[in-house]
Amino acid sequence: MLNGKVILVVGGAAGIGRATAELCAARGAAVVVADIDPAAGQQVATAIGGLFVAVNVTDPASVQAMVAAIEERYGRLDGLIQTAGVLKGAYTPVDEFPLETWRTVLEVNVTGSFLCAKHAVPLLKQSDKGVMILVSSGAAVGGSSSVAYGASKGGVNSLGITLAAKLAPEGIRVNVVMPGNIDTGMKRSVIAAEAEMSGKSLEDAVAASKLGVPEGVAQVLAWLVSDDADYVRGMITTR
Residues belonging to the active site: 149
Farthest-apart Cα atoms in the chain, separation:
54
Q: Using CB under 6 A, which of 8, 31, 50, 85 touches ligand NAD?
A: 85
Write out the DSSP string of 83-117.
Answer: -------TT--GGG--HHHHHHHHIIIIIHHHHHH
Q: Using CB under 6 A, which of 2, 5, 11, 70 touches ligand NAD?
A: 11
Residue nearest to ligand NAD (CB): 15
Question: CB under 8 Å to 30, separation ≥6 — which residues?
Answer: 5, 6, 7, 50, 51, 74
Which region among 54-62, 89-97, 114-122, 195-203 touches ligand NAD (by CB under 6 A)?
54-62
- Backbone φ, ψ for residue 22 (5° rounding): -65, -40
Which region among 20-28, 132-140, 198-206, 218-226 touches ligand NAD (by CB under 6 A)?
132-140
**Should residue 50 be labelled a site residue for ligand NAD when binding is judged by CB under 6 A?**
no
Q: What is the distance between the alpha carbons of residues 222 and 13, in angstroms, rounded to a whole number?
A: 16
**Should residue 55 be labelled a site residue for ligand NAD when binding is judged by CB under 6 A?**
yes
> Alpha helices of the chain — where are they, by DSSP H?
15-26, 38-48, 60-74, 99-106, 112-126, 147-167, 185-198, 202-209, 214-224
Distance, C-alpha 60 to centroid of its chain: 17
**Should residue 185 be labelled a site residue for ligand NAD when binding is judged by CB under 6 A?**
yes
Could you say which residues in the range 102-131 bind ligand NAD, by CB under 6 A?
108, 112
**Should residue 180 be labelled a site residue for ligand NAD when binding is judged by CB under 6 A?**
yes
**Should residue 194 be labelled a site residue for ligand NAD when binding is judged by CB under 6 A?**
no
Q: Which amino acid is at 112?
A: G
Q: What is the distance between the alpha carbons of residues 110 and 58, in angstroms, rounded to a whole number?
A: 9
Question: CB under 8 Å to 173, separation ≥6 — which residues?
Answer: 129, 130, 131, 132, 164, 167, 229, 230, 232, 233
Q: Using CB under 6 A, which of 2, 6, 9, 13 touches ligand NAD?
A: 13
**Should residue 238 be labelled a site residue for ligand NAD when binding is judged by CB under 6 A?**
no
Q: Which amino acid is at 98?
A: P
**Should residue 15 be labelled a site residue for ligand NAD when binding is judged by CB under 6 A?**
yes
Choice between 108 and 131, CB closer to ligand NAD: 108
Which region among 53-61, 158-166, 191-199, 225-233 touches ligand NAD (by CB under 6 A)?
53-61
Choice between 130 and 179, CB closer to ligand NAD: 179
**Should residue 80 be labelled a site residue for ligand NAD when binding is judged by CB under 6 A?**
no
Residues that bind ligand NAD (CB under 6 A): 11, 13-17, 35-37, 55-58, 83-86, 108, 112, 135, 137-138, 179-182, 184-187
